[in-house]
Amino acid sequence: MQKKFFQKQPMMRKVIYSLIPILIFAIGNFGWVVLIKTFLSTFMAVFIEWLFERKKGKPVSEAVIVTGLLVGLILPPAVPFWIVIVSSSFGVVFAKMAFGGFAKNLYNPAMVGRAFVYVSFPAAVQQSWTPAVSTWGQGFGRWIASDIVTMATPVNVIRGGGDISMWKMFFGNVSGTSGETAKWLIIAAAVYLIITKTASWKIILSTLVSAFVMSGIIFLFDPTRLNPLAWIFGGSILFGAVFMATDPISAPKKERSKWIYGGLIGALSVVIGTFSLFGAGFMFALLIANTFASLIDYLNTPGKVKKS
């Protein structure tokens, strides 16, 4: 039991490796609190899966570590500890274990957990943005980057008429959720994941292209809206496209459906982020796309070999 606590899943290992530099960058950007929270969410996720799998005598999947890490990285850095626990536990219990565990889930557990706390405890989650440290690296000497909360993310700043240099957004020394800021690390991780055939390049590409086109159309009609580059580099779309949308289990299986799936996510996240009550466009877009993933697959099944 002890030596087989984790199922060996080389694919998930690679995702974990690619998340580690992003986590280290986030510590430098926001302080050590990020590490503690990510550790907490990972611990909770593994613990919950262990509780469920214990009776069946099955080892815990390594995928749940990825879920835990992602929960920690997609929450704002100053979010209260109990939110981290609730988010991680809810996601794993209701979006994963209820469906029968690893590889059976229809929704991305990390995103369900985040959507649940985002909608249920809006005050606690949405007012937990903190500004990043003024120069990257100071975070290693601090517990948390700053005590000031309710600092707007780059997308909010630009929407409010402010300006943030593209370079700063690219390097990642800006506020945001813990893991989404360092675009260059995310791109590097994407290249690594694509080369090792862990993530589907079709989903990443179609998500980004469709978000770019959609925001471009909106920007052409109404230049007061965000410009397409700010969408890609200012928000969570890049992080989400690389790590969340490519989740091989909740994404459709057919090659052709992956294009549609990514396109749906990109376009919806821009539409929802622009017009909806909620700013977190990508989160809802991914859940909606997860909802329709099975349908897209069904429609793309050639012939009529579908079971009736």
Partner 1 sequence: MGVPLNPFVIMVAAALTSNMVLSNFLGMCSFIAVSKDIKTANGLGMAVTFVLTLTSVLNYLVYYYILVPLELVYLRYIVFIIVIAAFVQFLEMLIDRFSPSLYMNLGIFLPLITVNCAILGGVLFMIIRDYNLMQSLFFGFGSGAGWWLAIVALSTMRMRLREKDIPPQLVGPGLTMIIIGIMALAFLGFSGMVPVQ
Binding footprint of partner 1 on the chain (CB under 8 A) = 94-95, 97-101, 104, 106-107, 112, 115-116, 119, 268, 271-272, 275-278, 280-281, 283-285, 287-288, 290-292, 294-295, 297-298, 306-308
Please state, in angstroms and rounded to a whole number, the distance separating the CA atoms of residues 92 and 8.
19
Contact 236, 197 (CB under 8 A): no
Nearest approach, Cβ of residue 181 and partner 1 (Å) = 23
Tell me the C-alpha distance between 2 and 177, whole Å: 35
The sign of the dihedral angle between the CA atoms of 194, 197, 201, 204 is negative
Give Cβ neighbours of residue 88 (< 8 Å, ≥ 6 apart).
40, 41, 42, 44, 45, 48, 67, 68, 71, 72, 113
Compare residues 18 and 257 and give the one whose CB is closer to partner 1. 257
Q: Which is nearer to partner 1, 99 or 136 (CB)?
A: 99
| Amino acid at residue number 254 | K
Cβ nearer to partner 1, comparing 15 with 95: 95
Q: Measured from the CB atom, is 203 or 272 closer to partner 1?
A: 272
**Burial zone of 266 (CB within 10 Å; 0-12 exposed, 13-18 middle, 19+ buried):** buried
**Smallest separation, CB 103 to partner 1 (Å):** 9
Q: Which is nearer to partner 1, 58 or 168 (CB)?
A: 58
**Nearest distance in Å: CB 65, partner 1:** 21
Torsion of CA 273, 278, 283, 285, to 10 degrees: -50
Nearer residue to partner 1 within complex by CB, 40 or 299: 299
Shortest distance (Å) from residue 51 CB to partner 1? 12
Residue 280's SS3 state is coil
Q: How far is the CB of 114 from partner 1 (least distance, A)?
A: 10
Rounded to the nearest 5 percent, the helix, strand and coil shares of the chain are 65, 0, 35
Q: Which residues contact 247 (CB under 8 A, 6 or more apart)?
A: 108
Name the nearest CA neighbour of 32 among 86, 87, 72.
Answer: 72
Q: Please, which residue, 102 or 219, has the CB nearer to partner 1?
A: 102
CB of 42 to partner 1, least distance (A): 22
Which residues does 18 contact at the CB level (< 8 Å), separation at least 6? 189, 192, 193
Least separation, in Å, of the C-beta of 211 and partner 1?
Answer: 15
